[in-house]
Chain A
Amino acid sequence: MDRHALADRLASILQAHYAVLQVAPACLPRLTEQAAFMYIVELYRLQGWSPSLRNLRRGMFVLPGSPAADPWNFSYVCLTRSDPEGWLEVRGNLAVLPLGALQPIRPDVAVVHGGQVPTVGEAPLLRAEPQKPFALPNEMLLVFVEAKAAAVHPALVWSFVGLVLALCPECITESEKHSRRGSILAASGGAASSLSVLENDLKKRSYKVAIIPEIGESLLSLLSP
């Protein structure tokens, strides 16, 4: 192949579509998060849970765009089942406080036990201090998802494994904890070959991680009648 000719032609195409490329870095992550959120909801539906949208705004399901947003001001999904196991909620950008940590972290999608996040009416009462943002205790978190628009690369692995370590340290074995710098670097190397290699690599290391490539395609297949 003529690499230089290819690059020249590509460069002129990218220049011609400058405007759309300027907005893409901001909106692709948000689209991916939105899809990841509803993908989790549809997976629960497949497992026999009934999802219902809550806290809509004028018929719109609105997820928080800003990480600092108060959760009671945004939409979420309530998951119920006929058996009396209680209900679950799927939340976007919810602040979760890992054990012993001072600062919360905010997974893109969190599945939590129902009734733990205050509603608008309860919010002022449940806030320990009026100025302190709400954060859910770690033990109420059941599942969390990080959505990345970029194709998998080492930085993704680093950030994801870092989150696992903060939220779910028991998912990482002792030996991994002690040598995590080296092991994560090794996992990053795995990212070089393919998603399936990376997934196997993480499984071998006892990380309870599922990687969903092509989230849009995967969600579409769940939504098709």
Chain B
Amino acid sequence: MADRALELFLGELPEQWRPAISQIATIWGDAARNEAPEDEEQSANVALLAAIHSVYRMMSSGIQIESLVLPALERRYGARFPVPGGGFGTDRLNDAGHLLRELREILREQLQMSEEELSEWLTTDLDMAELARLSRSGPEPPTAFDPLSH
């Protein structure tokens, strides 16, 4: 059965993305399970991280193309390069930029990474050892009952 946290994340994605992102999460979750069959928590964490990484990469790549690449092409060729069928447009591009910044902020806080470490992780291919390391980083999940806190 799919992990509830992953389901929650997938549920907020556009419908068209869910099958592919879910597939990516499954592949990496299964790979983590193969490496550490007893650690179900780690495989669920790895699956979620892989899904987030993929969504971030996809969005940041599109934003970069529209905001930097197309203007650079315009300068080189002296012609405008409209996106067939339309791109984000200025307002949505700003909104997309905010979205990425907020995602980075949460990831940095949850994974306790520096800005540089986060940038490096988000701009490189997924790697099992790194995912496993990140899945153990940051705050621990709360336990159902902690006698010391009572």
Which residues does A use to contact B, with CB under 8 Å?
1-11, 13-17, 19-28, 30-35, 38, 53, 56, 59-65, 92, 149-151, 153-155, 191-196, 213-217, 219-220, 223-224
Q: Which residue of A lies closest to B99 (CB)?
A: A17
The answer to whether A19 and B92 touch (CB under 8 A), given A1-B111, A14-B13, is yes
At the interface, yes or no: B147 with Cβ under 8 Å from chain A?
no
- B134 touching A154, Cβ below 8 Å: no
Q: How far is the CA of A32 from the CA of B61 in the complex (A)?
A: 8
Q: Which listed residue, A5, A11, A30, A215, touches B9 by the CB 8 Å rule?
A: A11
The answer to whether A194 and B125 touch (CB under 8 A), given A11-B11, A34-B84, is yes
* 19 A-B contacts (beta carbon < 8 Å): A1-B135, A2-B140, A3-B44, A6-B48, A7-B4, A7-B9, A13-B102, A13-B103, A14-B99, A17-B96, A22-B14, A27-B87, A31-B61, A32-B62, A59-B80, A60-B80, A150-B20, A216-B69, A223-B73
At the interface, yes or no: B36 with Cβ under 8 Å from chain A?
no
User: What's the count of A-B pairs with C-beta under 8 Å?
Assistant: 205
Interface size on B, residues (CB 8 A): 76
Q: How far is the CA of A199 from the CA of B85 in the complex (A)?
A: 31
Q: How far is the CA of A38 from the CA of B52 in the complex (A)?
A: 29
